[in-house]
Amino acid sequence: MADMKQNLTCRQALASAFQALSDEAVKAGWPEGEVALALAELAEEQVIEITAKVIMEGSVHPQLAASSRNS
């Protein structure tokens, strides 16, 4: 339950900056639909990068711990 509340709080904190970014892109001449799609794709890439980082850290840390014990 705490994670959902934290996520909501984070979303609320980012909402105005996100909207401002979207508005600026539309003002610059990009169609609203394209802006929304580009922002969604950028968010997806960020999630993929963070997920990969968590996976790598999870798989690397036990190896580092084992190698430092063997040293």
Say whether pLDDT at 68 is over 80: no
Mean pLDDT of 6-21: 94
**What is the model's pLDDT at position 39?**
97
Say whether pLDDT at 61 is over 60: no
The verdict on pTM exceeding 0.85 is no
Max CA-CA distance within the chain? 60
Question: Residue 29 gets which letter from DSSP?
Answer: T
